[in-house]
Structure 1
Amino acid sequence: MKAKLTVVAIVALGVFFANCVKSANAQEPGIDIVNDEFPEKQQEVLETFGAIAQSIKDGDMDKLISFHAYGPKFTEFKNGAPRNGDVANEEHERNVFGSVTEVVKFDAQDLKIAVYGDVANLTFHSDFQLKFGEDLVVVNDQITLLFVDTGKGWKMVHEHHSPLTPKPL
């Protein structure tokens, strides 16, 4: 009985360590996840970002919301306020962008997309001019959007917005 238990334990440990090695080597050989650019995936993320902008211009809030992977892991930082989650973000997106009457300008300056396998980080400086009725609101922020490739497209799992300090003259 003791011998059988020892054999089972050795086999179980062997399987465990084999899976650990397999997981550690899961990345394809020759791929540098930190330094490789992954241009095809960068293009996919850029197209997703363009579709997000178009949904805002079209006033299509359901389409805008569809680009988010809402759930317990979703987070957002905005203007130095405490972190919020998926429910607060969706409410904010629908209230704010649903109230836009005209998109005068929607430019992303210094846009950078960094892809790390199935995760992508998109950063830019916003140069947005949005009308709410007759009121024009200018948004010059530093924005980070974190995307995950869900198999059903790239979805946002984190947003970070903070005011951009103008460069001194």
Structure 2
Amino acid sequence: MKTNLTVACIMAIGLVFTSCEKKVENPIVAIDLISEEFPDEKQEVMETFGAIAQSIKDGDMDKLISFHAYSSKFTEFKNGEPRNGGAANENHERTVFGSVTEVVKFDAKDLQIAVYGDVANLTFHSDFHLKFGDDLVIINDQITLLFVNTDDGWKMVHEHHSPLNLG
């Protein structure tokens, strides 16, 4: 009787331990951030870029600024000058784009979007023809916009503008 009780206890303990085993049915698959294309996110970034362009065409500076994620991490390079931050960028964007009286042409040539999960890099060559009163200004730059996917959509965290050598 004592032997039967001992065998039953051992079997019960064995049953408890085997039922506690975790079975992994859906293993986590590593995502190759370098090679994966992320087509849905790429489309979202393209739509965000289109909305940025539209805000400039509409002269809606508050909307334009809303596409930026200003923080101590925000950076911008332009015109070969030292790096600046969010406050200088916002001031520049409100001053320059707020003074545009007509967008004659706003083309982004050789546009490329590379998504790395929640980070996206958008590069293009600008062919912008902007009027400031009677003055036409043509901007042919190499532009990089770095985006981060936030709860409020894709936001710019870095801008880089440098002259495009057309010669």
What TM-score do you get using the length of structure 2 for normalisation?
0.82
> What are structure 2's unaligned runs of at least 5 residues?
1-27
Q: Deviations over 1:84-141 (max 9, x none)?
A: 0000000000000000000000000000000000000000000000000000000000
Please give the root-mean-square deviation of Cα atoms over the aligned residues, in Å.
0.8
> What are structure 1's unaligned runs of at least 5 residues?
1-27
Distance 1:105 1:142 in 2: 16
Aligned residue type for 1:165: N
Q: Deviations over 1:31-90 (max 9, x none)?
A: 211011101000000000000000000000000000000010000000110000000000
Number of paired residues? Answer: 140
| 3-state DSSP of counterpart to 1:82 | coil
Aligned residue type for 1:161: H
Q: Which residue of 2 aligns with 1:77?
A: 77
Distance 1:158 1:31 in 2: 25
Q: Which residue of 1 aligns with 2:115?
A: 115
Q: Which residue of 1 aligns with 2:56?
A: 56
Q: Which residue of 2 aligns with 1:138?
A: 138
Higher Rg = 2
Detail structure 1 runs of 4+ shifted over 6 Å in the superposition: none
% same residue: 79
Aligned residue type for 1:106: F
Aligned residue type for 2:46: L
